[in-house]
Amino acid sequence: MKKITIAIDGFSSTGKSTLAKQLAKELEYVYVDTGAMYRAVAYFAMQHSLISADFFKKDALIEGLSDIRLEFRFNSDLGFAEMFLNDENVEKQIRTIEVSNFVSKVAAVSEVRAKLVEQQQEMGTNKAIVMDGRDIGTVVFPNAELKIFMTASAETRAQRRFDELQQKGDNVTYEEVLKNVMDRDYMDTHREDSPLVIADDAIEIDNSYLNKEEQFAAVLELVNDVVKLD
C-alpha cells in the first residue's frame, strides 16, 4: 500500500483534529495535532507571565524557546497521543478558552513557527502521517500527496466549540466563543509569517452541514483515490 502524507488545514473549530484522528486510525498512520503544539507554547507563556490580555513579552518568549520541550505520548486508554510540555501532561490545560485567546498571537511569532515547523517536518520524514493545522499544506508539507482545507461558518464553528466546552464543564458564553473564533480567524489569516491560506492544490470542504460520519466518508474516498485502495 502506498504511504502518503495527508495535510489538513483550515479555520479553528472546523473539526480538523477529529477528522485527522479518524483517518490516522483507519489507515494506521501517525497523527500529529500541530495546534496542540502551538497551544502548549501559549500555555508556557501564560505559566511564565509572558502574555496576558494587556501585554505580550514576545522577546522573552523567544529567549525561552530553548526551555520548551514538546512531546506527543500515546495514551492507549484514550486511543490517541496527548501533549506533554516539559514532561507534564497538559492536554486538558491547553484546550481552555483562555489558551485559545492567546494561541494565534503566539503562533504569529516567526521564531516559534520556525521551531515547531522543523519538528513537524522531522515527524513526517517517513510519510504515513496525518497532520492538521494552519500551514501544513503550504509550509510544512508543500509536497503532500493529499491536501484538505476545512471551513464552516463562524457561527456554526462557535456553536460546536461552545457545546464542547459546556460538556467539559467550562463556564463560557456563546458570545465569548464566537468572538474568540472570529478574532482567531482574523489573526490567522492576517499574520505576516505563514498566514492561513488555501494551498493551490488543496481540496476545500465546507462542513457547515456535514456530520462527522459524512465528512469522514467523503475524505476517505479522496484518500482512496490517491493511494488507489479501491
pLDDT in the model for residue 230? 44
Whether 61 and 45 have beta carbons less than 8 Å apart is answered as: yes
Measure the CA angle with vertex 63, ends 57 and 64; round to 5°: 90
229 lies in a domain? no
Q: Could you tell me where the beta strands, DSSP code E, fall in the chain?
A: 5-10, 30-33, 70-75, 80-85, 88-89, 129-133, 146-151, 203-206
Domain assignment present for residue 226? The answer is no
Which grid cell sits at 225?
483515490
CA 102/CA 12 separation, integer angstroms:
13
Residue 230 domain-assigned (yes or no): no
Q: Which domain holds residue 175?
A: 5-220
Inter-residue contact 144 to 136 (CB < 8 Å):
yes
In-domain check, residue 150:
yes
Cα–Cα distance for residue pair 163/161, rounded to 1 Å: 5
Q: Report yes or no on 102 lying in a domain.
A: yes
User: What are the tens digits of pLDDT across the range 52-68?
Assistant: 999 999 999 999 999 99
Q: Measured on CA atoms in the order 117, 119, 120, 126, is the torsion positive or negative? A: positive
Residue 2 contacts residue 127 (beta carbons within 8 Å)? no
pLDDT of residue 47: 97
Where is the binding site for ATP, in residues?
10-18
Quick: pLDDT tens for 135-153.
999 999 999 999 999 999 9
Sequence-ordered list of residues with C-beta below 8 angstroms from that of 56, at least 6 positions apart, any chain: 45, 50, 105
For residue 109, which amino acid is it?
Answer: V
pTM beyond cutoff 0.75: yes
Q: Which amino acid is at 41?
A: V
* 227, part of any domain: no
Specify if 104 maps to a domain: yes
Domains of the chain: total: 1
Taking only Cα atoms into account, the Rg of the chain, rounded to an integer number of angstroms, comes to 17
Name residue 73's beta-bridge partners.
Answer: 82
Q: What is the pLDDT of residue 78?
A: 78
Which CATH number covers residue 62? 3.40.50.300
Annotated binding site: 10-18
225 located within any domain: no
pLDDT of residue 139: 95
The closest alpha carbon to 11, from 124, 221, 180, 201, belongs to 180
Which regions of the chain are under pLDDT 50?
230
